């Protein structure tokens, strides 16, 4: 028996191929929503990015329709799809969907229950609304880079993940859409959501921003316990050249760590600024006496807040993650079988071990337009004109 997921029965039309909007629809899809990717026919597509086949979970559970929205018949066909949709996600420059005649007001006139989510770097309003940008730009504007560690030349490092796209954008949009879906049960009305990735970065940076606004302090690398001020929250290299992550913030955890390392004398000085170099050096020297896995076996289960700092190739072989069904198999019509990250967020289908994923060269255009009420002859006419594909 198939698992009933929270968003079963919800239909999402998604204009994106990459970025925060695609991360958002991936989340909604893993909660059971039907995701319909809306793109332009090949000769109308311009420079639209096509990600590698494995990206965004290889499009598992998604459908695809190609429509020329600049053609009157194409716009009308899209609006027929939108009439029966629950959510639309778009990531064009501000104002573009309105000019095309497929914006929130256009859709709402036909479907008052629609939840229309615009994702952009800086929002639909404000002096920066039309700026182009990517992950690093939003992290820079939102202060994330300024509070990260430093490179050898003193500059902020590049993050190891697209934090802005995934959390500040994709998760931000998904959370807003889920709230709007819940609210619709009360009001029976949809809503418009202006999701700015830069706003999402501000939310992620709230601890540092609120500290500055309340005290005037300038947060940055080494200014507090979360940005490297104290040796109890840092990374340390082991004898085999691998790394440990140490997060012994609470005094009890720090005491446990020091006891396990034979460094009990350091316990009273956990937050003594004058002793941090001494503590850090003692930790560095001690951790270099054993290989990483020896330290994990010794420390991880003893309330010390010590874990391995994995590479990606290491984490996909971790037994704990495997026991929680983090990785699944996917079968692609042309690429064959490969592994991918499963539905790991709480409430998804964690027990599912295998997915069939679609070939991006194949569309569901005819079936989707037919289900929206278009006649076969009309669909065939638009296909002949290059309006759909």
Express each pLDDT in 17-37 by its tens digit. Answer: 999 999 999 999 999 999 999
Q: Which of 192, 183, 195, 190 is nearest to 86 (CA)?
A: 190
CATH number for the domain that contains residue 16: 3.40.50.10540
Q: Name the percent of the chain lying above pLDDT 90.
A: 92
Determine, yes or no, domain membership for 209.
Answer: no
At 48, the pLDDT band (50, 70, 90 cuts) reads low
27 and 168 co-located in one domain: yes
Determine, yes or no, domain membership for 98.
Answer: yes
Determine, yes or no, domain membership for 316.
Answer: no
Report the residue count for the chain: 389
195 and 247 co-located in one domain: no
Determine, yes or no, domain membership for 31.
Answer: yes
Answer with the one of 293, 308, 323 that is the final residue of a domain.
308
123 and 191 co-located in one domain: yes
CATH number for the domain that contains residue 274: 3.30.1540.10
User: Could you give the angle at which helices 172-187 and 19-30 cross, rounded to 10 degrees?
Assistant: 60
Q: Could you tell me the two tokens for 310?
A: 């994995």
pLDDT for 154 equals: 87
248 and 296 co-located in one domain: yes
pLDDT for 152 equals: 87
Q: Which residues are known catalytic residues?
A: 134, 165
Domain holding 298, by residue range, is: 225-237+243-308
139 and 199 co-located in one domain: yes
Q: Could you tell me the two tokens for 69?
A: 């929205």
Please state, in angstroms and as integers, the Cα–Cα distance from residue 356 to each residue in 10, 57, 324, 335, 344, following that order.
21, 11, 21, 11, 18
Q: What's the number of domains the chain is made of?
A: 2
Determine, yes or no, domain membership for 220.
Answer: no
197 and 248 co-located in one domain: no
pLDDT for 2 equals: 65
61 and 194 co-located in one domain: yes
252 and 119 co-located in one domain: no
158 and 57 co-located in one domain: yes
At 150, the pLDDT band (50, 70, 90 cuts) reads confident
| Inter-residue contact 77 to 388 (CB < 8 Å) | yes
Express each pLDDT in 199-227 by its tens digit. Answer: 999 999 999 999 999 999 999 999 999 99
166 and 31 co-located in one domain: yes
Determine, yes or no, domain membership for 317.
Answer: no
The predicted model gives 301-316 an average pLDDT of 97
Express each pLDDT in 355-371 by its tens digit. Answer: 999 998 899 999 999 99
Spell 114-147 as b/e; 16+ CB within 10 A means b. Answer: bbbbbbbbbbeeeeebeeebebbbbbbbbbbbbb
84 and 193 co-located in one domain: yes
pTM assigned to the model:
0.93
Determine, yes or no, domain membership for 334.
Answer: no
Determine, yes or no, domain membership for 134.
Answer: yes
Mean pLDDT for the chain overall: 95
Answer with the one of 251, 283, 308 that is the final residue of a domain.
308
| Inter-residue contact 252 to 303 (CB < 8 Å) | yes
pLDDT for 1 equals: 54
Express each pLDDT in 81-138 by its tens digit. Answer: 999 999 999 999 999 999 999 999 999 999 999 999 999 999 999 999 999 999 999 9
37 and 86 co-located in one domain: yes
Express each pLDDT in 243-300 by its tens digit. Answer: 999 999 999 999 999 999 999 999 999 999 999 999 999 999 999 999 999 999 999 9
């Amino acid at each position: 028996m198939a698992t009933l997921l929270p968003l079963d029965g919800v239909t999402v039309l998604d204009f994106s191929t990459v970025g925060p909007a695609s991360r958002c629809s991936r989340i909604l899809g893993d909660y059971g929503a039907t995701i319909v990717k809306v793109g332009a026919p090949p000769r109308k597509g311009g420079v639209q990015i096509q990600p590698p086949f494995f990206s965004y979970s290889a499009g598992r559970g998604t459908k695809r329709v190609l429509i020329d929205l600049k053609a009157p018949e194409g716009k009308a066909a899209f609006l027929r799809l939108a009439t029966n949709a629950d959510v639309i996600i778009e990531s064009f420059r501000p104002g573009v969907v309105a000019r095309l005649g497929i914006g929130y007001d256009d859709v709402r006139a036909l479907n008052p229950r629609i939840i229309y989510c615009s994702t952009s770097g800086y929002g639909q309003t404000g002096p920066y609304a039309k700026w182009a940008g990517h992950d690093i730009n939003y992290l820079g504007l939102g202060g994330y880079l300024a509070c990260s560690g430093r490179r050898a030349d003193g500059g902020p490092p590049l993050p190891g993940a697209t934090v802005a796209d995934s959390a500040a954008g994709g998760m931000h949009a998904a959370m807003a859409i889920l709230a709007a879906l819940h609210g619709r049960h009360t009001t029976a009305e949809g809503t418009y959501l202006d999701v700015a990735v830069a706003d999402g970065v501000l939310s992620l940076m709230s601890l540092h921003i609120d500290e500055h606004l309340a005290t005037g302090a300038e947060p940055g690398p080494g200014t507090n316990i979360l940005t490297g001020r104290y040796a109890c929250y840092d990374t340390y290299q082991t004898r085999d050249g691998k790394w440990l992550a140490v997060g012994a913030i609470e005094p009890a955890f720090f005491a446990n760590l020091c006891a396990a390392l034979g460094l009990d004398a350091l316990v009273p000085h956990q937050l003594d600024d004058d002793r941090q170099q001494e503590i850090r050096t003692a930790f560095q020297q001690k951790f270099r006496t054993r290989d990483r896995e020896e330290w994990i076996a010794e420390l991880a289960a003893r309330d010390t807040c010590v874990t391995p700092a994995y590479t990606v190739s290491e984490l996909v072989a971790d037994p704990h993650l495997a026991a929680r069904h983090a990785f699944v198999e996917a079968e692609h019509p042309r690429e064959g079988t490969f592994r991918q990250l499963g539905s790991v967020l709480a409430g998804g289908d964690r027990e599912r071990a295998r997915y069939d994923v679609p070939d991006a060269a194949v569309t569901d255009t005819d079936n989707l337009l037919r289900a929206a009420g278009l006649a076969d002859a009309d669909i065939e006419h638009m296909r002949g004109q290059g309006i759909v594909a």
